């Protein structure tokens, strides 16, 4: 899983000049920024010898902006990049990516000044090479 998450994180970082956090807010929280969260794998499959040879891995990306427009702009940019990705971390190939969930943008007034969050989840098919 680590190699897969690293490949997705690298893709996100290459897609924007904005900071990307790895499971937590990045060191530079200048808005907008995003955070990658690896989620669980599902739908493992394989042959009789190795029943867990292939799998779908889910990744959540949370985009944070000072305005709705900032959060949605960053989410659009990163989602487009991941959906076009054909990643090849050492020993694996990840393709294709599917959009699983795109949540509506929400305003968080619990912090001051308020921020806006847009969350999306993508799923990538993974197979060993």
Listed by start position, the domains of the chain span: 2-128
CB hemisphere CA count around 100 (13 angstroms): 17
Identify the pLDDT of residue 73: 97
Amino acid 121: pLDDT? 94
Residue 56 pLDDT more than 90? no
Pairing of strands 20-22, 33-45: parallel
pLDDT band at 101 (very low <50, low <70, confident <90, very high): confident
Mean pLDDT of the residues in the chain: 89
Mean pLDDT value of segment 93-105: 86
Asked if the model's pLDDT at residue 54 lies above 90, the reply is no
In the 3-class helix/strand/coil scheme, how is 17-34 assigned residue by residue?
CCCEEECCCCCCCCCCEE
Architecture of the domain spanning 2-128: 2-Layer Sandwich (3.30)
Instruction: Tell me the average pLDDT across 69-88.
Output: 95
Distances from the Cα of 96 to the Cα of 55, 99, 104, 114, angstroms: 12, 10, 24, 36
Confidence of residue 65 (pLDDT cuts 50, 70, 90): very high
Inter-axis angle of helices 68-83 and 2-15, nearest 10: 120
The residues, ordered by sequence, that sit 6+ positions from 10 with a Cβ below 8 Å of its Cβ are none
Instruction: pLDDT band for 3, please (50, 70, 90 cuts).
Output: confident
């Amino acid at each position: 899983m680590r190699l897969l998450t690293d490949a997705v994180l690298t893709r996100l970082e290459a897609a924007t000049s904005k900071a990307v956090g790895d499971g937590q807010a990045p060191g530079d929280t200048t808005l907008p920024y995003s955070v990658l969260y690896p989620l669980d794998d599902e739908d493992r499959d394989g042959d009789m010898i190795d029943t867990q040879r292939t799998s779908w891995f889910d990744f959540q990306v949370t985009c944070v902006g000072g305005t709705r427009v900032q959060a949605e702009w960053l989410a659009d940019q990163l989602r487009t990049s991941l959906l076009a990705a054909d990643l090849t971390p050492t020993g694996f190939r990840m393709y294709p990516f599917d959009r699983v969930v795109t949540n509506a943008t929400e305003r968080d007034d619990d912090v001051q000044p308020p921020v806006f969050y847009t969350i999306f989840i993508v799923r990538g098919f993974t197979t060993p090479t």
